[in-house]
Structure 1
Amino acid sequence: MKKSKWVLRPESSKLLNLDFLRFVAAIGIVWFHYGSTLIDPIKERLEAFLLFVDLFFVISGYVIAYVYGGRLGSGHDYQVFLRKRVARLIPLHWVTLGLYVALGLALGTNAKYPDMFNWQCLIPTTFLMHSFGICTTPSFNYVSWSISAEFAMYIAFPLLFAVARLRWVPLAAVVIIFVILFQITSGAHPWYIWTHDFGVVRALPAFLFGLSLFVYRDELKRVPAPTTGMFITLALFFWGSFTRTSMGALVPLIYAVVFFGVAADVQDRRIWMVKRIAPLGQLTYSVYMLHLPLQTFLLARVPLDGFARVTWYVLGCFILMAVSWASLVLFETPMRRWISGKAKEVTVIDVLRPRR
Structure 2
Amino acid sequence: MRTSRQVATIDWLQAFRGLAALFVVITHAGWTMAQPSSQEIAWGLLAHGALGVDLFFVISGFIMYLTTRGCDGSARYAAEFGIKRFARIWPLFFVVSMVYLCIAWWRAEQFPADYFSRTLGQLVFYPVSPKASEFFGLPVDVAWTLCFEAYFYAVIAVSLLSRKSRWWIVAALLAPGLALYPLLKQQLNLSFYHQPAIILNHYLNLMVNPMVWEFILGLFAGWVYTSAWSTPPRPLAIAFILASAAAFITIPNTHIPTLYGPTIEYGGLTVFAIFLMLALASKSMELPAARPLVWLGTMSYSIYLTHKLGFLGAAQINAWLDIRNGDARDWIGFGIYLACGVAMGALFHHTVETPLSAWTRRKLMGLLGKPGRPEFADTEIKPV
Q: 1:347 to 1:76 in 2, by over 3 A?
A: same
1:259 maps to amino acid: L
The aligned runs of 1:145-160 (5 Å cut-off) are 145-158=144-157
Q: 1:238 to 1:110 in 2, by over 3 A?
A: farther
Deviations 1:127-172 (A, max 9, x none): 2223773977613211011112112111111456877857xx79x9
The aligned runs of 1:53-202 (5 Å cut-off) are 53-71=53-71, 73-108=73-108, 118-130=115-127, 133=130, 138-158=137-157, 165=167, 183=187, 189-190=193-194, 198=205, 201-202=209-210
1:229 maps to amino acid: A
Q: 1:159 to 1:234 in 2, by over 3 A?
A: farther
Identity value in percent: 18
2:308 to 279, 292, 295: 292
TM-score where L is the length of structure 2: 0.72
SS at match of 1:336: helix
1:269 to 256, 277, 286: 286
Cα offset, 1:190, TM superposition = 4.1
Work out the CA distance in 1 between the residues paired with 2:203 and 2:154.
18
Q: 1:348 to 1:136 in 2, by over 3 A?
A: closer
Work out the CA distance in 2 between the residues paired with 1:176 and 1:197.
14
Residues 32 and 43, structure 1, Cα contact 8 Å, conserved in 2: yes
Cα offset, 1:49, TM superposition = 2.8
The aligned runs of 1:213-232 (5 Å cut-off) are 213-217=221-225, 218=227, 219-222=229-232, 224=237, 225-232=239-246
Work out the CA distance in 2 between the residues paired with 1:43 and 1:163.
47
Structure 1: runs of 5+ lacking an equivalent: 1-9
Deviations 1:47-85 (A, max 9, x none): 343232111111111112111233352111111211111
Residues 25 and 52, structure 1, Cα contact 8 Å, conserved in 2: yes
Residues 294 and 320, structure 1, Cα contact 8 Å, conserved in 2: yes
The size of the alignment, in residue pairs, is 332
Partner of 1:257: 274
Cα offset, 1:182, TM superposition = 11
Cα offset, 1:325, TM superposition = 2.2
Cα offset, 1:277, TM superposition = 2.8
Q: 1:189 to 1:155 in 2, by over 3 A?
A: closer
Partner of 2:16: 21
1:322 to 343, 349, 356: 343
Residues 25 and 304, structure 2, Cα contact 8 Å, conserved in 1: yes
Work out the CA distance in 1 between the residues paired with 2:129 and 2:275.
26
Aligned: 1:205 with 2:213: yes
Q: 1:159 to 1:12 in 2, by over 3 A?
A: farther
- Over the aligned positions, Cα root-mean-square deviation in angstroms equals 4.1
Q: 1:257 to 1:110 in 2, by over 3 A?
A: farther
